[in-house]
Structure 1
Amino acid sequence: MTDNAPTDAHAAHRSNAGYDLTPPTEAERAVLEADLSAEEKRVLLAHGTEAPFCGTLLGEKRQGTFCCRQCGLPLFKSVTKFESGTGWPSFWEPVDPEHVVGVRDTSYGMVRIESRCGRCDSHQGHVFPDGPPPSGLRYCINSVALSFTPEGDPLPDPLGRGDGTA
């Protein structure tokens, strides 16, 4: 058994989209976190927020997939991205509902739903009920929490799980 293989007690769980959602082991997590910049750590691990209108992916218009910067899980397709005017990349639907987990967030005197990666549990942003049809949702995501893969290119696979292309 390799370090990447799940134990019998923690069998691999695949999403309906076919991606391995098994959380990283502590050793894998340490390697993933060591690859993050200080700003990425602040957002992904400490639940921070980047300044509006500053993210590198806000204006990204190419076809492709937006993945979790930490573990590489595909979170959003470019066809679900829209201009919300908020200053952060916004999407109306994740690649798979299991890829983006909602967690109640009561920080800063507000009640919101935090969006986290369904595999590594890193903070991505928040989801609000004021998005466009068909979902009516707006996933407001930090650029620094994502990596973009143009359509046809291999997706990031830092855990070595062989999950595919954009």
Structure 2
Amino acid sequence: MHVRADQRFPIQIELNGRQREGLAEPRMQLCDFLRHELGTTGVHVGCEHGVCGACTVLVDGVASRSCLMLAVQAHERRVDTVESLSRDNIMNDLQQAFSRHHALQCGFCTAGILMSCVEFLERVPSPDETQVRDMLSGHLCRCTGYTGMVRAVLEVAQQRQVTLVENNNDV
């Protein structure tokens, strides 16, 4: 089958818990599809080479560089962006910790970093500082350094563990 480069195909995804559909050319990057076709502006595009991490989203729960993935590859998959983190305009615990620890300045890279942190804390619920720094090494931030980010992630991990223990004691 011959596909023209300008031909557009319907793409269906579960975006932040809602079924969404749009059209994408075969070579359209997922980040561009999310931003320009679906209006999800929390996805930022930095290097377009997968190096900076600003475009990181969760695809089926796995942190993925949306600049390295084609929109057609996301068809019928679950995609979560930074917009999925807050509920009713209330930031989640990780976003609040980033704010408390001054882990952001310009905010350009923050969305991608937050999404990597979400996936990381699912896999590693009780990380140490070295593990957090290793995870963050996949992101480039020119504004803040990483100390505030490390403190925020460690704080959230500790708070979640305390909550887990308290909930288990209530059972």
Q: TM-score, normalised by structure 2?
A: 0.29
Q: TM-score, normalised by structure 1?
A: 0.30
Q: Which of the pair is proportionally richer in helix?
A: 2
Q: Which of the pair is proportionally richer in strand?
A: 1
Which structure carries more relative contact order (alpha carbon 8 Å, separation 6+)? 1
Q: Which has the larger radius of gyration?
A: 2
